[in-house]
Structure 1
């Protein structure tokens, strides 16, 4: 199954208040394993970056000034995503922002199925912290490079978290090659007749035949040991 792990960085918390997307990072998965294909870009939000948002992701007005507009990259983004299932940490936030950007450029909203890893983690670990950092800690995933939020780095970390939430690296029980090749293991009932079990105790005739056979062995080791 093709899935896209996706993350965004924005100028704020509410797209309805005019906040914009400034970064999108995507990673392609096949059967929960990264293929190496990515989509990553920064956007000029056409607005001043609030200090609070910059503190989170470190993206300044100067850095974003020469970056493309969302409209310049929308076709490339939509082509990469395609109809794949999306994997997003706190999905409503990112999808809300992306749909607002798509609406601005006259494109239909995203209709892709999605997995919200926050919801998955809350069901799996009720009452526990389910931030990306907390889940990395729980699954011993190295997030030491995550000094600030970044869409591509966060997608890379989320891809590892998602694998663990899905059952871990051994969840396919060693059938990864068959799964990748589209092979499905099937158990088929056989109509062949079942042979009756052989009695374990030897018969009198078998014991006599065995004794005669032993007489042919010269200097048997078991007699020397005795």
Structure 2
């Protein structure tokens, strides 16, 4: 079970109009979360036309990342190749992976790169398989169900969410008796 678990924070919900403001990731090797193998950065958001994007208040309310926090951060053009190198040819995991992968595909396309991991796993979908009688499968509920805790200030920040998602992935795969 060797995968890269990642999470993005963004300025909104549209990969075409909104921008990535934070990327957090870590590896799971041989069924264990490898905390030392991490990728974590804020990103200075730019529009498709290259103008600096302000982070809307409603997005700031979710993830707590402000314009001041990203003012000195690197641009996605600098960060994205590094992140793609970190991922390499590993399968990827995210909670509600369709959201994060859509943003990654669009960001890569804009920068003349390709986001094409060999496999994508979604902890939300795995949760639905593992707990079919439950109605809610958001990350907070899943963390509670699996007795996982977010680090202080970690919820809705990329690396904190990636940490909990990685632990959830390992436990869900064990529960479902699935190997990757």
Distance in 2, Cα, partners of 1:116 & 1:84:
15
- Is the 2:150–2:161 contact (alpha carbons within 8 Å) kept by the matching residues of 1? no
Alpha-carbon distance change, 148 to 51 in structure 1, aligned in 2, over 3 angstroms: farther
- After superposition, the C-alpha distances for 1:41-65 in whole angstroms (9 at most, x for unaligned) are 1110020111110001111111111
What runs of 5+ residues in structure 1 fail to find an aligned partner? 173-226
Corresponding residue SS for 1:78: helix
Q: Shift of residue 142 of structure 1?
A: 2.0
Q: Shift of residue 147 of structure 1?
A: 6.2
Q: Shift of residue 149 of structure 1?
A: 0.7
Q: Shift of residue 98 of structure 1?
A: 1.0
**Number of aligned pairs?**
169
1:158 matches 2:161:
no
Alpha-carbon distance change, 140 to 155 in structure 1, aligned in 2, over 3 angstroms: same
1:138 matches 2:137:
no
1:129 matches 2:128:
no
- Is the 1:25–1:155 contact (alpha carbons within 8 Å) kept by the matching residues of 2? yes
- After superposition, the C-alpha distances for 1:147-175 in whole angstroms (9 at most, x for unaligned) are 6410001111111111110116xx79xxx
- After superposition, the C-alpha distances for 1:97-123 in whole angstroms (9 at most, x for unaligned) are 011111111112323311111111112
Matches within 5 A, 1:49-64: 49-64=55-70
Corresponding residue SS for 1:166: helix
What runs of 5+ residues in structure 2 fail to find an aligned partner? 47-52
1:80 matches 2:86:
yes
Which residue matches 2:73?
Answer: 67
- After superposition, the C-alpha distances for 1:36-86 in whole angstroms (9 at most, x for unaligned) are 200111110020111110001111111111110011122211111001011
Distance in 2, Cα, partners of 1:106 & 1:164:
36
Which structure has the bigger radius of gyration?
1
Q: Shift of residue 31 of structure 1?
A: 1.9
Distance in 1, Cα, partners of 2:38 & 2:64:
22
Bigger RCO of structures 1 and 2 (CA < 8 A, at least 6 apart): 2
- TM-score for both structures, normalised by structure 2: 0.87
Distance in 2, Cα, partners of 1:72 & 1:95:
19
- Is the 2:2–2:29 contact (alpha carbons within 8 Å) kept by the matching residues of 1? yes
Distance in 1, Cα, partners of 2:135 & 2:32:
26
In angstroms, what is the RMSD of aligned CA positions? 1.8
